Structure 1
Amino acid sequence: MNDAFKAIADPARREILHLLRGGEMTAGDLAQHFNMTKPTMSHHFAVLVNADLITRRRDGQTIWYQLNTTVLEDVIAWAMDLTTRTKDKGKI
């Protein structure tokens, strides 16, 4: 889960996740939303894939990316649990 938090710490990667909420997109389609070099975009994709926040599949020369909602749900549940525990400690 630590990799997931490191991945979402970067605003560009959060924007990639936001864009993928609408469904699967190609690397090229995602890259059009950013003013970055291809190697920089590839790095962001790799960080998100390594954190299991997105999946990729190759179709010929095209790489498609999609949200891995299972891992995102786990991260959100963990954050909500942490928030609840923090609030409950204040009530002691």
Structure 2
Amino acid sequence: MSKAFKALGDETRREILKMLNKRDMSAGEISDHFNMSKPSISKHLEILREAELISSEKKGQFVIYSINTSIIQEVLGGFLEIFTK
């Protein structure tokens, strides 16, 4: 869960999660929303994927990213537990 907390510590990654919460997207669609290089976006996506906050699936020539809502709920539950003790 520490990887998830670290991943959520970055504003860009939180914004990516907000976007993926609305719909699944390709890396290109995600990068179109930011003023940074595609390799930088790819690094953010990799960090989110390693934290299991998102998943990826190859569809044709594209990789489609999806939010992993069960992990998000688990992380939020852990976060609330920390502050309600």
Deviation at 1:22, TM superposition (A): 0.4
Alignment: residue pair count: 85
Q: Which has the larger radius of gyration?
A: 1
SS of match in other structure, 1:34: coil
- Tell me what 1:41 maps to: 41
Deviation at 1:69, TM superposition (A): 0.6
Q: Residue deviations 1:51-79, cap 9 Å, x none?
A: 00000001121110000011100000011
- Tell me what 1:64 maps to: 64
State the alpha-carbon separation in 2 of the partners of residues 82 and 8 from structure 1.
16
> Amino acid of the residue matched to residue 22 of structure 2?
G
State the alpha-carbon separation in 1 of the partners of residues 52 and 38 from structure 2.
21
Deviation at 1:15, TM superposition (A): 0.3
Deviant stretches of 4+, over 3 Å: none
**Tell me, which stretches of 5 or more residues in structure 2 are unaligned?**
none
Deviation at 1:83, TM superposition (A): 1.5
State the alpha-carbon separation in 1 of the partners of residues 36 and 61 from structure 2.
20
